[in-house]
C-alpha cells in the first residue's frame, strides 16, 4: 500500500480508501449478514487500507454503527471520515437538510458514539444548507475541533466559492466530490482551488457507481431500492450509449494487463498527488481488484490518452435525478 497526505495538517491516508455506504443502503437491500461486511472492512485494513468513509445519513445511522464495530480493534491505525448536515425524525426518518449549529453539535455526539471514537478524524458537511451561512457552519466545526471532538474539517459537493468562504473561517483539510472518467466537473474549478489552498481531494463514485468496472450493460438488472434505478445515465438506453466509454477503457486495460476498474482508479491517482479515491464494494474480490490499481502507474501519455478518450465519448444521461442534483455545488 502507498499513502498520501490530505491537506496541510498531516492527515495521511492510504492512496485508495473504502467507501462504506453501499454496505447499508443505495445498492439494493443490505447484505443479510452484517458480519460479512464487518469481515470485509477488516480485510481492507489487513490489506493496508487506512481510510474509511461513512455518514450518519447512511442507513440512517446503521452504517456508522457498522464501521464503528468493524474498526474498533484498529483504533489509532485508521482514519474514519463521516458527515453531518441532515435532520431526522424521532424514528430516524430523514427530514431534510439541517446544518444549524445545534444540529451539528447533536450530530457529532451521535457519530462519536456510533463510531466508538473520542474524536472524528475528518468531519464533512454532507451537503450545503442554503438556510445556514457557511461561515456559521465552519465556525461550529472550529469549536468542535477546539473541544477535541473533531480533528479535521471537510466539505462535500460544495461550490468553489463556498469552500473558499468556509476555509477562511476554519481551514478545510479535504473536500469530497464525485469524480471519474465519466464525471469530470471538479476539474473546472474545484481542483484548481484545492491546488491553490492546499486542500486534499477525495473522489467518491470513482468507478461511476459500478459502470466503469465493465460488469454492467444495458441488460443488467438492478434490485429494488437500488439508486441506479432512478439515475438517468443508468436507463437501458443510456447504458447502451455509454458502453462506448467502457469499451475504450477496456482496450487500454488489456494492453496493461489490468481491468477497466484498475485503469479508472489509476487515472485518478495520476491526476494529482493529493487525490484519494474511495470506491465502495460488498465483495472481497472487488476490493482486491480495486487495490490492484495502487501498483498501476500510468505514464503521462496514457493519462493524456484517457483524458482525450473521456472527452471524446459523449455520456448520455445526468449523473443524478433532479432532486438530488439540486443539492450539489451550492
Please list the active-site residues: 58
Question: How far apart (Å, rounded) are the C-alpha atoms in residues 223 and 28?
Answer: 5
String of DSSP letters for 33-100: -HHHHHHHHHHHHHTT--EEE--TTTTTTHHHHHHHHHHGGGTTT-EEEEEE-EEE-TTS-EEEE---
Residue with cell 477535541: 148
Residue 48 gets the label, from left (phi > 0), alpha (psi -120 to 50) or beta, of left
String of DSSP letters for 234-296: GSHHHHHHHHHHHHHHHHHHHHHT--HHHHHHHHHHHH-TTEEE--B-S-HHHHHHHHGGGG-
Amino acid at each position: 500500500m502507498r499513502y498520501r497526505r490530505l491537506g496541510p495538517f498531516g492527515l495521511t491516508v492510504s492512496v485508495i480508501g473504502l467507501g462504506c455506504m453501499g454496505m447499508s443502503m443505495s445498492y439494493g437491500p443490505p447484505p443479510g449478514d452484517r458480519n460479512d461486511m464487518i469481515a470485509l472492512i477488516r480485510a481492507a485494513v489487513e490489506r493496508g487500507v487506512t481510510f474509511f468513509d461513512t455518514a450518519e445519513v447512511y442507513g440512517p445511522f446503521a452504517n456508522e454503527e457498522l464501521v464503528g464495530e468493524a474498526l474498533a480493534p484498529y483504533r489509532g491505525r485508521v482514519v474514519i471520515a463521516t458527515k453531518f448536515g441532515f435532520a431526522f425524525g424521532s424514528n430516524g426518518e430523514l427530514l431534510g437538510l439541517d446544518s444549524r449549529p445545534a444540529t451539528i453539535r447533536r450530530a457529532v455526539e451521535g457519530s462519536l458514539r456510533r463510531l466508538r471514537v473520542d474524536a472524528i478524524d475528518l468531519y464533512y458537511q454532507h451537503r450545503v444548507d442554503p438556510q445556514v451561512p457557511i461561515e456559521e457552519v465552519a465556525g461550529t466545526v472550529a469549536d468542535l475541533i477546539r473541544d477535541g471532538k473533531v480533528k479535521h474539517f471537510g466539505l462535500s459537493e460544495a461550490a468553489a466559492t463556498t469552500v473558499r468562504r468556509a476555509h477562511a473561517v476554519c481551514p478545510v483539510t479535504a473536500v469530497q466530490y464525485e469524480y471519474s472518467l465519466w464525471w469530470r466537473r471538479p476539474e473546472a474549478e474545484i481542483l484548481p482551488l484545492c491546488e491553490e489552498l492546499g486542500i486534499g481531494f477525495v473522489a467518491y463514485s470513482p468507478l461511476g457507481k459500478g459502470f466503469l468496472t465493465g460488469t454492467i450493460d444495458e441488460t443488467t438488472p438492478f434490485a429494488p431500492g437500488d439508486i441506479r434505478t432512478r439515475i438517468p445515465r443508468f436507463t437501458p438506453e443510456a447504458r447502451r450509449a455509454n458502453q462506448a466509454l467502457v469499451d475504450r477503457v477496456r482496450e487500454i486495460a488489456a494492453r496493461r494487463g489490468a481491468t477497466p476498474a484498475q485503469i479508472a482508479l489509476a487515472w485518478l491517482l495520476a491526476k494529482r498527488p493529493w487525490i484519494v479515491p474511495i470506491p465502495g464494494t460488498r465483495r472481497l474480490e472487488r476490493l482486491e481488484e480495486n487495490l490492484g490499481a495502487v501498483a498501476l502507474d500510468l505514464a503521462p501519455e496514457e493519462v493524456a490518452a484517457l483524458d482525450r478518450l473521456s472527452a471524446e465519448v459523449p455520456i448520455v444521461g445526468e449523473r443524478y435525478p433532479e432532486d438530488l442534483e439540486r443539492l450539489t455545488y451550492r
